[in-house]
Structure 1
Amino acid sequence: MKLLVTGGAGFIGSSVVRLAIEQGHSVVNLDVLTYAACLENVASVADSPLYAFVQTDICDREALDKIFEAHKPDAVMHLAAESHVDRSIDGPGAFIQTNVTGTYTLLEAARAYWQEAGKPDVFRFHHISTDEVYGSLGPTGQFTEDTPYDPRSPYSASKAASDHLVRAWGETYGLPIVLTNCSNNYGPYHFPEKLVPVVILKALAGEPIPVYGDGANVRDWLFVEDHADALLTVLTKGTLGRSYNIGGENEVSNLELVKMICALLDDCHPEGAPHADLITFVADRPGHDQRYAIDPTRIRTELGWRPSVTVEEGLARTVDWYLENKDWWRALQNRKGVGERLGKA
């Protein structure tokens, strides 16, 4: 298949690009290259005859039409999004523009292309979203595909809106769509403003490791390479019009996660150990969701997919990657907002 991947220079998108090419798909990587994007993420496939890159904003309809006409993709995998909750608290406008207006513009470009091509049966529009659209759970229960939406942040609200748009284009115009909602990702190439890389890099620098509130907030952690595999599985095997929740089956509190990373660093980077002494509790994020948990029954029973990496294995691989790729993350540390506390409201 020829895939048009939006946001393919980002964290999850680049993992999809690398795996898709490994599986023999052709990939057109469409990315506007915001602060969180990095072409080094796809350097390993940049010279492949299966790879092409186009720098374009998904809000630019004219440019999108030209890309569809020039490359004639069999499927769209839409990962381009503003995704950092703290940044959405400080500046929600960018999230509405990219996640809502950008998704609308991409849907319209994809619909026009699909209709002009005679509505080919093979075409797919795969929208990649988040479990945060479902809101917050108490100590029990899990999100299913039928859980009512209850977003609590500007980020999750913008992603909920984009989910609704995609479903509406499927119902109203017959656009062949599939959707996925994933739990928290982590792994190599994770931009250094999210929790896991923040902990690693703060610990390596001997600086305080910030933990919001009391650290009791629980997330289901999904290794990014497992997520990429799940996304390509849904794209090729999923039922049109269906949504699939993708979870790592690894529920861990933020404080437990931080301590696990510190313990790994104690073993492989003993300088500064015990790193857990650097843990510092800071004022909580406004509207901080207490717990996310995914029920992955549908993707497991319908498509035969389940995660292959435990959180212990994945964190060990992630820590090793950051220790071995210092040039990658050092080059990103001067980008706007990296290392700062954002989202205080």
Structure 2
Amino acid sequence: MKLSKNEKIILWGLVKYPMLNDRQLADRIKVRMSTLNAIKNKMKRMGLICDRIIPNLGIMDYEMLAVSWTPLNRTPSSEEDRGGLERLFHQHTDTYTSMVFGDTLFFLSLYKNYTEYKMAHSEIIKELKDMDLFLEDRCHSSLYPFGISSLTKNFDYTAVLEKAFDIEPERASPADKKRIDLERAKEKINHLSKKEKLILKGILEAPDLPDNKIANRLDTTRQAVARHKKELLNLGVIKKTRVIDYGGLGFNILCLLEAKYERLGERDRFNPNVESLHLPSFFAVYGESKTVSLSLFQDFNQFTTSRERYKLALKDFCRIKGEPSINLFSPADTITIKHQEYLPLIEKFLEGY
């Protein structure tokens, strides 16, 4: 899909500033309000962009993120294979995202402890074997405990669009850097009323719906939905984000990268300064000794240049152990099984309160 200059700017602005209303965004990116509304509505109708509401993973009692990928015996192109994968991950509610890149299954899961992870992961592998999809001894799975890891990007496409559209990255102003009081956010989510729990679930189930339609589904008022949503957003219990359908935007390479390293001292120990790494990633997590990321590139030259700059930047805070593991795929071959489905995780968490 070929985008005009205005369409590129507006798509980037919608992804970069999901919390701004239309008037604020039009002023921020310097386009007419009517142009913004027309292009935004067109992109939503085409499925190019959609809203997501993400819970603050740091305030729930999930202790670790598991990043897993495994080559499959075949590309799951048949209805039987896709249906089997959908049923598999529908049952495994701890997994909030699962996608197939060509013949490689990639999935992200949250667990409360290692035992829970081990049991669920073993069940997934067993079921993949039963479906005759699993390639023996080729599964990768890395655990990132939240206390000593940094999930710097969780399907944030800002850097991808800046690289693709040649947009100079903006430095965040103090007004943009809203500091979340984690203790207040934890206090709020641990003491939600019955009505607030209902509204939170309704927002997560249908983030693209306007408040009045969510209210109708929940048999409550639009004002109640709007009030509770605003409070949850302001406290940092949830945040709004926007994801794109990258399949038709001219990207030719999707890169799954894992790098192992030894950190150089205590500087940026659990939260490295990754803004300067020049890698157009939309997912990235950094742990004590390894990192995994997903990135998009328009061509192989862009990928090669970014990879070398990335390796140089990593050396500022760590000693890379061996060559990074790199897997390249065609973005057009992406099959989405499950994408940022947090409602089951929230429901499981709220059961204890």
Which of the five TM-score ranges fits, normalised by the shorter chain? under 0.3
Greater Rg, structure 1 or structure 2? 2
Whichever structure has more strand as a proportion of its residues is 2
User: How does the TM-score come out when normalised to structure 1?
Assistant: 0.26
* Higher RCO (Cα < 8 Å, 6 or more apart): 2
